[in-house]
Amino acid sequence: MNETLQTRLKSLSEAVGVSGDESEVRKLILEQIKDQVSSVIIDAMGSITARKAGTSPTPLRLMIAAHMDEIGFMITGCDSGIAQVMGIGDHDARFSAAKRVSVGSGKTPGMLLWAPIHKSYGQKSLPEPDDMTIDLGAGSAAVGDRAAYQGQFAVMGEHTLRGKALESRAPCAVLIDLLLGDALPVDLLPAFTVQHHIGARGARTAAYRLRPDAAIVLRAVECNDLPPEGDRDSSERAARFPLIRLGGGPALVASEAPYVTHRNLFRLTRELAQQAGIPYQIDALNLSHRTEGEVISATAAGIPTITIGIPVRYSSSPNGLVDVRDLEHTAALLRVLGARLTAESLQE
């Protein structure tokens, strides 16, 4: 197990950064990258942009985006230790019931209220995120406080890590890894963005500021390698979605409807992965929400953009799983790409 990545991911995962208040995560990241980059700017939204100068005399400017925020709740009222909330980001209510949360800057412990089956008086359906309630015991919360899931970071077996918010912090950890490594021919322009979960808002302003020659979005892609989906060719459900395996390598996202990744940059990335012997998978997503790739590619007069996904099981739950080798392979692929990117590959 890569101890450095493991330690970094643990601290990032345990930090709290619900959309709109990513300051704790931002501070952690800044501490780690500040000696490696110049032109550090925290923009009005709260995203970090910076530059790690390239070794080429005329370097291409390559933006790499990873979002810092996680889903959570906002307190809308609190009385006698029971807080009403609204959801921030997309919640899967099946994950939420009876989970631990921490509320506000004081990290007051709480529980998402869920009546046990013998006391639920026939209520069987799960509440919507906006109808959920937090039980604070004797504690209290202020209207406007954010609540985040509490995870418990753990190493599972040889390669797997478990924790909360891995869908944002695993990409952050890879991007930090890249910045701590040797300079590449390209100018690396990291963007640690805010408010992804409420409409890819930070990516928009970060891309506008940087106006790079090209952009790579690092994100999580949900694995579907568990039964029955994992049993593809014999299963009735075969191939409704691309198969993404934990440990199968970075997922090159061909399309993330409605956004289609840049044709030539996508192909270059696939070729480089093949040449370098880096395992990879291909994903094609049909999403209803706005993504960072969509927003960045349509910024200003257009930016050639591709999306690379790190496979995560149970993403946006308090217990996501990643395979540390996927993080290493993603970092390796980004290094190869940073070394081999040409202006030609960015043409249409």
Partner 1 sequence: MPDKALIRTLVEAWGPSGYEYQVRALIQKEVQNLADEIRTDAGGNLICRMGSGGKKIMIAAHMDEIGFIIHHIDPQGFARFSMIGGLFSSTLNGGRVKLENGMIGVIGLDGEPNPYRTGTATLGDFFLDFTGAGASERVQVGDVGAMWRSMDVQGSRVIAKSLDDRIGCVVAIEAMRRLKGVALSNTLYFVFTTQEEVGIRGARVSAFGIAPDMAIALDVTPTDDIPKARNASVKIGKGAAIKAMDAGHIVPPAVRDLMIKRAESAGIPYQIDVMTIGTTDAAAIQMTGSGIPSGAISIPSRYVHTTSEMVDLDDVEACVKLLIEVVEKPLEAV
**Interacting residue ranges for partner 1, rule: CB under 8 A:** 232-233, 238-243, 252, 254-255, 257-263, 266, 270, 282-286, 294, 297-304, 346-348
Closest separation in Å from C-beta 242 to partner 1:
4
DSSP string, 156-173: ETTTEEEETTHHHHHHHH
- Decide whether 105 or 347 has the Cβ nearer to partner 1: 347
193 or 261: whose CB is closer to partner 1?
261
Nearer residue to partner 1 within complex by CB, 242 or 279:
242
240 burial via Cβ count (<10 Å: 0-12, 13-18, 19+): exposed
- Do residues 246 and 313 touch, judged by C-beta distance below 8 A? yes
Look at residue 82 and give its three-state secondary structure: strand
Report yes or no: 200 and 66 within 8 Å, Cβ to Cβ: no
Helices (H) and strands (E) in the chain, counts: 8, 18
CB of 279: closest distance to partner 1 in angstroms?
14
- C-beta of 342: minimal distance to partner 1 in Å? 15
Residue with tokens 């032109």: 39
Q: Are 22 and 194 in contact (CB under 8 A)?
A: yes
Q: Which CB, 78 or 207, lies closer to partner 1?
A: 207
User: CA 168, CA 137: separation in Å to the nearest integer?
Assistant: 30
DSSP string, 18-52: BTT--HHHHHHHHHHHTTT-EEEEE-TTS-EEEEB
Residues 34-43: contacts with CB within 8 Å, 24+ apart?
36/179, 36/180, 37/179, 37/190, 41/209, 43/202, 43/205, 43/206, 43/209
Name the minimum Å distance from CB 23 to partner 1. 31
Place of tokens 């992804």: 196
Q: Residue 270 or residue 340: which is nearer to partner 1 going by CB?
A: 270
* Residue with smaller CB distance to partner 1, 299 or 316: 299
- 100 versus 290: smaller Cβ distance to partner 1: 290
Q: How far is the CB of 214 from partner 1 (least distance, A)?
A: 9
Shortest CB 301 distance to partner 1, Å: 4
DSSP code string of 91-150: --HHHHTT-EEEETTTTEEEEE----GGGSTT--SPPPGGG-EEE-TT----TT-EEEE-
Least Cβ distance, residue 310 to partner 1 (angstroms): 18
Instruction: Kindly list the strands in the beta sheet with 320-323, ordered across the sheet, starting from the edge strand earlier in the chain.
Output: 154-156, 160-163, 320-323
- In the bound state with partner 1, the residue whose beta carbon lies nearer, of 10 and 232, is 232
Supply the minimum distance, in Å, between the C-beta of residue 280 and partner 1: 11
Closest CB 219 distance from partner 1, rounded Å: 17
Q: Which is nearer to partner 1, 260 or 339 (CB)?
A: 260
